[in-house]
Structure 1
Amino acid sequence: MSAEDFTTGEIDFTVPSSGQATKTWYKVYGDLANKKHRPLVVLHGGPGVVHDYMLSLSDLWTKNEIPIIFYDQIGGGMSTHLPEKNGDVQFWSVQLFVAELYNLLKHFKIEDDFDLLGNSWGAMFAAEFAVTKPKGLKNLVLASGPASMELFIVSQKEKLAELPQEIQDTLKKHEDAGTTDDPEYKQAMMPFLFKHVCRVNPPPAEFMVCLGWLEKDPTVYHTMNGPSEFHIVGSLKTWSILDRIPEITYRTLLTNGRYDEVDDNCLQPFFDKLQKVKWIQFTESSHLAHWEERDRYMKVVADFLAV
């Protein structure tokens, strides 16, 4: 098997309130009809980032023969962009992305048997999806996703306080002035990103591709999250699944990194309230353990999915 062994395409996704035809772009590794392993659907973060930074997970295909579906969620990457919906918090809802995922599963005819892995926002979204009781979901991997944004914001504040005062002052200056699109603000974000999001040096090209897409079209990210990982002013600011965690009844693997922007307190409610759960922390990683400790990460996930 080769890392080049993939197919790409588009899926029609009807969203009446969009006012236009919309599509979901995908990349599939392996044969979804092969019954040796159930397919794994991967949910990227953001919201409004793209699948590229998750592509190291293609190792699960090349080394373990697990078929994998990557896709760009609507509003990002190769899927339909809707910049005219910038700031429309009614349109960019969790329910929109849940509907898109159900549409994708139906397209590939795997709704009766699949596994799901989400990272960051993708893990939040995966938890929301699991609450809807999808009949074919067997195993769930929640990678570096908080159980509530309140917990996440606390984690961010603690980590920001560790940065040099000059950087903190620069960030606050632009946040207070509403000038977070200033290059100085974006440059001041980088020490945080390379300490708590991706510690690989130099960072993977696939990660930098995601930052490039955010620069081109920040519609979804700005509407739902805000201008940065630590200035949360979007519609997700009050998001929480704390009271619904017990409704998730699937086997679940939790992962995060020792230096993760999503710290242990963000995951603890999942561990406390899930019925069938395992938690693995990657001691040399931050938010992207699938790059930072790539080989170990793949083994942990492959072993978990093998059941």
Structure 2
Amino acid sequence: MTSHLIVRGKKIHVEIFGQNHLPAVLFLHGGPGESCYEFVYYQARRLSKELKVIAIDQRGVLRSERIGDDESFGMMDIIEDCEDIRLQLGIKEWAIIGHSFGGYLALVYTKYYPQSVSKVVFENPTFDFEWTARNLLKCAGKLFLSKGDKKHFHECEEYANGFYRTEELFDHYLRLGEILGDEKEKIYSPNQVATDDSVYTDEEWEAFSERTDVHLRKLREEGRMFESIIPYLSELHVPSLLLVGEYDPVTCDKHINEYNQVKKGKIVEFKGCGHMLHSEEPDRYREVVTDFIKER
């Protein structure tokens, strides 16, 4: 079922799959601003055989209502939206799957609404944007070097190893990523996986993208996303699962070392995969996630 819910005054795009009696799970996409489209394309049918899957485009993203230029918006609005959706759907508690920046959101949501969460799956998450941005810059540098572009390789190295604020590192990575163009995707995964987006016209996708730009800009301006939430890991009270791709650049070794201290935490590595595990190995992903969420 695909619909819009009015959530705290805004239309939020919500997709629901699976029977009501099945364990409920909310998917939080990354980006910021990437949408749940790809996850639904690869996992909705697979997961909904044993789980009730709820996937959303976060406030202001893609198919959700646009955030006005004069409206206030910050990270906690996404968290409050999730809780409002849970209440509207009459779900007592649900598991959370957070991909990339969605993993950051999943950990924050669990901290503020612990009674609402049964389990958490972190798929190649970031909990510290500085660590992630530095590692992404190193990976971008290697890609530039492989193309013979020593100028931008040295620029990436300077930012990756220099004394810069997290906001600066993030902005420089976005700028250098634009220089790479389509080649940027090679940073995230060695596997190129196609998603059929022909259900929408090019004009519709362009309009959706404009909404997402506002979402990202306002989060960037608020700045809360640049705060490390590594300390939240020690407060994680529910069983959790960290899924990491062998070649993923977002969840660097520092993240994994910190997660290793989490009580009730498990780690599963996907060999040969990068950042998009749910699309790179969709059948194994379904199996691992379903087994974990249904495990007593």
Map of 2:77 onto structure 1: 96
Residues 200 and 291, structure 1, Cα contact 8 Å, conserved in 2: no
Q: Indicate the SS of the match to 1:273.
A: coil
2:293 and 2:46 map into 1 onto residues whose CA distance is: 10
Which blocks of at least 5 consecutive residues in structure 1 are unaligned?
1-6, 15-20, 226-232
Change (3 A) 1:167 1:50: farther
2:217 — aligned with what?
A: 222
| Cα pair 1:199 1:292 within 8 Å, conserved | no
Q: Secondary structure at the match of 1:305?
A: helix
1:297 Cα shift?
1.2
State the Cα distance separating 1:48 from its structure 2 match: 1.7
- Indicate yes or no: 2:181 matched with 1:186: no
Quote how far apart the aligned CAs of 1:301 are: 0.8
Q: Does 1:82 align with 2:67?
A: yes
Decide which of 204, 214, 220 is 2:195's aligned counterpart. Answer: 204
Change (3 A) 1:270 1:103: farther
Q: Distance in 1 between matches of 2:83 and 2:150?
A: 41
- Deviation (angstroms), 1:272: 2.9
SS of the aligned residue for 2:27 comes to strand
| TM-score w.r.t. length of structure 2 | 0.81
Q: How much has 1:114 moved relative to structure 2?
A: 1.2
Structure holding more helix per residue: 2
Identity between Structure 1 and Structure 2 (%): 18
Residue 269 to residue 239, structure 1, CA distance change in 2 (3 Å): farther
Q: Is the 8 A contact 1:83 1:217 kept in 2?
A: no
Of 259, 266, 270 in structure 2, the residue corresponding to residue 282 of structure 1 is 270
Counterpart residue number, 1:12: 6
Secondary structure at 1:164's aligned position in 2? helix
1:105 and 1:224, CA in 2 relative to 1: closer, same or farther beyond 3 A? same
Q: Which runs of 5+ in 2 are unaligned?
A: 157-167
Q: CA deviation at 1:58?
A: 1.1
In the alignment, the residues of structure 1 paired with residue 258 and residue 205 of structure 2 have an alpha-carbon distance, to the nearest angstrom, of 29
Moved over 6 A (4+): 170-173, 178-182
Q: 1:228-268 CA distances to partner (integer Å, 9 max, x unpaired)?
A: xxxxx972563211122211111000012111121432532
- Structure 2 match to 1:259: 247
Shift of 1:186: 3.4
Partner in structure 2 of residue 73 of structure 1: 58
Change (3 A) 1:59 1:76: same
Give the one of 140, 144, 167 matched to 2:124: 144
2:89 aligned to which of 91, 100, 108: 108
Letter of the structure 2 residue corresponding to residue 191 of structure 1: E
Question: Does the 8 A contact of 2:122 with 2:241 survive in 1?
Answer: yes
Partner in structure 1 of residue 44 of structure 2: 58
Q: What TM-score does the superposition give when structure 1 sets the normalisation length? A: 0.78
Number of residue pairs the alignment of both structures matches: 274
